[in-house]
Amino acid sequence: MNKIYSFWYQILHPDRHSSAFIWFILLGLVIIVVAIVPEFIQINNVSNVLIQMVPLGLVSLGQGLVILGGGIDLSVGSQISLITLIAANTMTDSPVIIILSLLLCLGAGVVFGTLNGLLVHKMNIPPLIVTLCTSFIFQGLAYTLHKTTGGYIPSSFQMSLTISWGLFSIPFLLFLSFIGIEFYLLYRTRFGRYIYALGGNEEVLANAGVSVGKIKVTTYVIAGLMAAITGLYLAARVKSGGALYGVPFTLNSVTAVVVGGTPLSGGVGGLGGTIAGVAIVSMLNNVLNLISFRFNLQSSFYKEILTGLVLVIAMIFYRKRS
């Protein structure tokens, strides 16, 4: 009874510390969407939504840790684009080469994240400025490899990451696996407690004898690693690399995290809200596609407008409850 009371209390008195209100909004949106677009709940479409959630979900898991620690990573989109091109330009049909290419891409993600983290910590430059600058660097490197799309992704690699069985699929199970890993890190380890403390008050954490720099850099490393995994999945999904493949994921990942109850100031929020935020953003994009198909509209224009509006509304909403 106490748990039920607590759940409804959080809904009626929403704050940034709980994801209950976000899940309630998600449920409400689903009901409204089904009433307007009944085909949304068809098995094929629901399966499609779950698969569409995967790349945004993966990159948002990393972005969520960075924002929770009081930072932000505006370079994840450029990192994703660059990783897709590294994969597409190094892979062949040889299993050994595929494995080496995977290691190269994952290693590159770690290097990108380490660079961001060290610049933010050592140079004492605001993370927004640092990651905006590095995003230009990564994007320039992506254009250097290939100005549009191209490269080669082996069919064996593509099939291994895109197999699906109804509502379940390899990419979605991969997403669930990383959710489990991040859940353990955030709520079962000292590292997770330090991330919350880092976003809450960095000075207090430092005075407690904790290596603030190590925690901060690690969050960016994880974000870079998740961006690399996202890039590998996208490359497999479309069987090529692209200099612009990752562009939408920068704003969308920030939106998903902020909509999920983690403010840009960090310190509060969590994994449950981020997952709900990912579901909301993915669902809205899917609904816009269905509506645009029905009424012959250009949904891409409305996606950008809606994403921006959702982000602004979320920031205003949580700011009032600071």
The predicted structure's pLDDT at residue 198: 93
Q: Would 161 be classed as within a structural domain?
A: yes
Q: Would 291 be classed as within a structural domain?
A: no
List pLDDT tens digits, range 158-207: 998 888 887 788 999 999 999 999 999 999 999 999 999 999 888 888 88
Q: Would 88 be classed as within a structural domain?
A: yes
- How many angstroms separate the CA atoms of 39 and 35, rounded? 10
Section 95-116 average pLDDT = 97
- How many angstroms separate the CA atoms of 288 and 317, rounded? 24
List pLDDT tens digits, range 238-292: 999 999 999 999 999 998 998 888 888 888 888 988 998 999 888 888 777 777 6
Question: How many domains does the chain divide into?
Answer: 1
Domain that residue 155 falls in: 52-248
**pLDDT over 80 (residue 298):** no
| 24-28, 98-102, 126-130, range with the lowest pLDDT | 24-28
Q: What are phi and psi of 45, to 5 degrees?
A: -75, -40
Q: Which residue has the higher pLDDT, 150 or 11?
A: 150
Section 128-143 average pLDDT = 95
Maximum pairwise Cα distance, the chain: 60
DSSP 95-156: HHHHHHHHHHHHHHHHHHHHHHHHHHHHS---HHHHHHHHHHHHHHHHHHH-SSEE----HH
Q: Would 314 be classed as within a structural domain?
A: no
Section 7-35 average pLDDT = 67
The predicted structure's pLDDT at residue 223: 97
Predicted confidence band of residue 76 (pLDDT cuts 50, 70, 90): very high
- How many angstroms separate the CA atoms of 69 and 215, rounded? 9
Nearest Cα residue to 289 out of 310, 303, 307, 309: 303
pTM, full prediction: 0.88
Q: Would 261 be classed as within a structural domain?
A: no
Q: Would 125 be classed as within a structural domain?
A: yes
Is residue 93 within 8 A of residue 154, CB to CB? The reply is yes
Q: What are phi and psi of 167, to 5 degrees?
A: -75, -15
Q: Would 165 be classed as within a structural domain?
A: yes
Predicted confidence band of residue 15 (pLDDT cuts 50, 70, 90): low
The predicted structure's pLDDT at residue 4: 47
Provide the CA 108 distance to its chain's centre, in angstroms.
18
Q: Would 297 be classed as within a structural domain?
A: no
| 36-40, 72-76, 117-121, 259-263, range with the lowest pLDDT | 36-40
